[in-house]
Amino acid sequence: MTIPPHLGAAGMESLAANQGEAMKHSRRKELEGQYEDLLREFGPGLSRLVASYETQVHVREDLLQDIRLALWTALPGFRGECSLRTFIYRIAHNRGLSHAYGRRRRLPEADEPGEIIDPKSDPESSAIENARQARLARAVRSLPLAYRQVITMTLESLPHVEIALVLGISENNVAVRLNRARILLREKLGTPK
């Protein structure tokens, strides 16, 4: 790019500032698009992960919003050293842990009803499916946190290697926790092995 000689030092500074602003705007638009894509792809999984940490709908919404904000803040620093899915679940896991350890003790409240999966199906099937999902969600939430984490991520189809990266443990430890979580879930749900 050639700079016209009549601009002088002040003109060159102004031109550089305008180019810098244009680059910032372009980068921000790129990040916004990537962020929206992430929420579209991983939003439902993050909602289910949040539900494993909290039973109250309004508190779940706050926790999910906190995770979304943390994702937006961390996204510019993503270096590609792990998969994007691992990066996202690691952030969600850390926020979930902060929530679980930081919340004040409160009286247990009744679980909120599950979401309707398919509004087109008959009411009886929907009710049965909602009851089954609510029962499973209660059983998962009753597990110790270490087991709850691995079972929730497994239900989100994360492989052992990614769960290990998210939790900062070995793949063998993931397998052991998952096995113990399944045993406890079978006991709580009263299902045979």
pLDDT digits (tens, 9 = 90+) for 129-178: 878 888 888 888 899 989 999 999 998 889 999 999 999 999 999 999 99
**Cα–chain center distance at 177:** 20
The correct answer on CATH 1.10.10.10 for the domain covering 121-193 is yes
What is the identity of the amino acid at 58? Answer: H
One-letter amino acid for residue 88 of the chain: I
Q: Cβ of 64: how many Cβ atoms within 10 Å? A: 20
Point out the least confidently predicted range of 15-24, 36-45, 65-74, 144-153.
15-24
How far apart, in whole angstroms, are the C-alpha atoms of residue 53 and residue 19?
45
CATH 3.30.457.10 fits 12-102, yes or no: no
* Predicted confidence band of residue 117 (pLDDT cuts 50, 70, 90): very low
* Every domain of the chain and the residues it spans: 12-102, 121-193
Q: In this predicted model, what pLDDT tens digit does every residue of 149-161 receive, in sequence order?
A: 999 999 888 999 9
Q: What is the mean pLDDT of residues 68-82?
A: 90
The DSSP letter of residue 1 is -
Angstrom distances, CA of residue 154 to CA of 31, 57, 101, 164, 169:
29, 23, 22, 11, 15
Burial of 98 (0-12, 13-18, 19+ CB in 10 A): middle
